[in-house]
Chains A and B, each alone.
Chain A
Amino acid sequence: MIGVGNALRGDDAAGLAVAERVRALAGEAVAVRVCEEEPTRLIDAFDGADIAFVVDAVSTGAPAGTVHRFDASGSPIPSLELRSSTHALGIGEALELARALGRLPRTTVVFGVEGAEFTSGARLTPAVADGVARTAATLLEEVAACTSER
């Protein structure tokens, strides 16, 4: 599970908050990484994984805290640019780069938590904190399902 985001930009920390929660709830059962800023690091984080969950904040206009789920295993996620990025690739492009190089995990699921406030120094808004909790719960259910399938 890879949490993506910026800890100091309000709801952009949603992916990092999910990572923290998954780490607390699942312990060593799930390998948790965080990726702040430069997303090609995702590709190295995928090494050795069959199943990957990537969680980032999104801004699509949906109500704050809405949890979007995209299965990236077979095709690109809807927007190549999950997060507006200043001078690097976006998450969607990093996933596609991994796919082109044959390094995308067999199952790759992206959760996007709808953010509302991306100001420097802001905290997670309550609705987004709630979305973080729901994302972590859903993600762990999916992990459990994958594990029992095996």
Chain B
Amino acid sequence: MSVRLVDGEVEDVELRIFEPPRFFEALLRGRSFREAPDITARICGICPVAYQTSAVNAIEDACGVEVTDPIRLLRRLLYCGEWIESHALHVYMLHAPDFLGYDGAVAMAREHPREVERGLGLKKAGNEILTLLGGREIHPINVRVGGFYRAPSREELRSLVEPLERAREAALETVRWTATFEFPERTIPCELVALSEAETYAIEDGRIVSDQALDIAAASYDEHFAEEHVARSNALHSRRADGSVYLCGPLARYTLGSRWLTPLGREAARSAGLDDECRDAFRSIVVRSVELVYACDEALRLIDHYDEPDAPAVDVEPRAGTGYGISEAPRGLLYHRYTLDDDGTILDAKIVPPTSQNQLAIEEDLREVVSAYSSLGDDELRDLCEQTIRNYDPCISCATHFLTLDVERV
């Protein structure tokens, strides 16, 4: 990241991401439509379910297929597992050390072993859902276009109840714990975009809505959002079609949909001091914790409502056309679009991951943070910038000190 300050005023902030492009969209061209979920699952080791779900949503849309209720339920349950795993990892191993003044999770674990064990326990509960439904913990292999290769029995799903009940308790403790942190003030001014589904907290599908009256189907995504390549960074930047900045992810989901959390989730949020909306970037850790409560609670509800489907998947016959799919990855919207020919060969693919969608909002926020805290020394400023970036849980928030900060003070 480079910052140019002139007389203490920010003139320029640039964030460059070096993760090399991996050309997945080109890799998909010429492959069978049935391969898309397995190929795209490999894009991310933390959120393969998000990639698989957006892929099957898009391909089923292209082929004009609707899946049955039990299959939809299993997809949502699998996705809850991914939210639990991803949020637990981010809250405990990556983000909490920032707030408690540690260099990273290892240093924090030496003084807060109970909390770190709690985070690992939560993560494990998410893993257990993934292992049972996905066939294995990482890169699930049980997901297919039309549903699953094998649907679990009610009995098998019941084996998840006890670990999930424990996880729900741990998630409630997580909310209480993160609520005690100190939060620098940072209000996100931009448009918030999330999925919306009738009477539920949208996860695996939905319409794209915003706090500025956007309400569209995934099929209209390309008319409302544009992706551009910026020379300094390998990550693409998304904007609204009019050029404006938007944010997706936990803050957007919570602000637009907190009323659809379960009573337990809403209560946890209230006791942590959250209102119905939250635009406070640093409190995203509390919102993630509330979503952990919700994901555990929702997973338990889904298990309770599960009836084994007659068939683990519906038949999907290829047809020529374009399909659009979207879902709420733990860190925000994940959009897929596929054009197929009549035998199901993929002719064109477009994937817009949440990190591209949030990149501009992150840069805007960094600019504000640097302006407000420009009197800090370079090291302190770098730590604050890292913490700011981690507020968005992008796919670069990995290493303890991942950020090289060049400050030019003129």
Q: Which residues of A contact B (CB under 8 A)?
A: 6, 8, 36-38, 40-41, 43-44, 81, 85-90, 93, 96-97, 100-102, 120
Contacts and interface: CB of A to CB of B under 8 A. Distances in A.
Interface string B94-113: 10000000001110011001
A97 B106 contact: yes
B75 interface: no
Nearest to B355: A87
A40 B89 contact: yes
A84 to B, nearest CB: 8
B124 interface: yes
Contacts of A97: 93, 105-106, 109, 116
A86 B116 contact: no
Contact of B398 (A6, A40, A43, A87): A87
Interface in B348-406: 393-400
A100 B104 contact: no
Interface string B77-92: 0000000010001000
Contact of A101 (B46, B85, B109): B109
Interface in B35-77: 42, 44-46
Interface of B: 19, 22, 27, 42, 44-46, 85, 89, 93-94, 104-106, 109-110, 113, 116-117, 120, 123-124, 127, 137-139, 393-400
Nearest to B104: A93
Given A40-B93, A93-B106, A120 B396 contact: no
Contacts of B394: 87
A99 to B, nearest CB: 8
A88 B123 contact: no
Contacts of B397: 87
Contact of B19 (A86, A96, A120): A86
Contacts of A93: 104-106, 400
